[in-house]
Amino acid sequence: MLRIYGMLDSGNCYKPRLLMALTGSPFEHVEFSTRDGSTRTDTFLGRNPIGQCPLLELEDGRFLAESGAILNYLGEGTDFVPADPYDRARMLQWMFFEQNQHEPAIAVRRALTVYPERKAAATPERMKTTLERGNSALEVMDRALGGSAFFAGERPSLADIALYPYTRDAAEGGFDLGPFREVTAWLTRVEALPGFKPKEWTPAG
């Protein structure tokens, strides 16, 4: 059986769990934390030299890191990867946007806000910058969703799964989603998808 090593509180680790829930695919969740040193052991570093989660273990013993790569692997052959080349490229466009524009602002500001060990890095300048950049990313998303139900068209794709977790938790970082009506409507559409499970869900829970 596939195993996903991850931290329940992490949006990046939630992404593959959410995809597996939406596709009804069996897997085992193995809880690991980057905060307690468990991903810095020799054993874990032998599996992923970066020492981060999520980490996917295939049934043949191979390992795959990085949430976007894991989503692409697990999404192969599912309805969450568009068949049309252009729509598939649009999906990837938004997945790259999530990693390059969205996460470095919204997820980072949340981490600086909620994790005590990150408080020292939460300087006024950094909090101001991440707030501005995060709101800019939300504005881009809001405009894009004004013309379609999901980011790669009228059907959900891996792009929506990639963007959902940290957008859903943006308020924990001090972001006000109220002005972004298209984004809040999209969050509701994602949560209405058959098989949807919240971040705290695991196959055993």
What DSSP string runs through the chain? --EEEE-TT-HHHHHHHHHHHHHT---EEEE--TTTTGGGSHHHHHH-TT--S-EEE-TTS-EEESHHHHHHHHHTTSTTS-SSHHHHHHHHHHHHHIIIIIIIIIIHHHHHHH-GGGGGG--HHHHHHHHHHHHHHHHHHHHHHTS-SBTTBSS--HHHHHHHHHHHTGGGGT---TT-HHHHHHHHHHHTSTT---TT--TT-
pLDDT at 139 over 70: yes
Domains of the chain by range and CATH?
A: 3-75 (3.40.30.10), 85-191 (1.20.1050.10)
Which of residues 204 and 175 earns the better pLDDT score?
Answer: 175
Please report, rounded to a whole number, the percentage of residues in the chain having pLDDT higher than 90: 84
Q: What pLDDT is attached to residue 205?
A: 56
Q: What pLDDT is attached to residue 48?
A: 85
Per-residue pLDDT tens for 24-45?
999 999 998 777 777 788 788 8
Question: Mean of the per-residue pLDDT values for the chain?
Answer: 94
* Confidence band of 52 (pLDDT split at 50, 70, 90): confident
Per-residue pLDDT tens for 73-129?
999 999 999 999 999 999 999 999 999 999 999 999 999 999 988 889 999 999 999
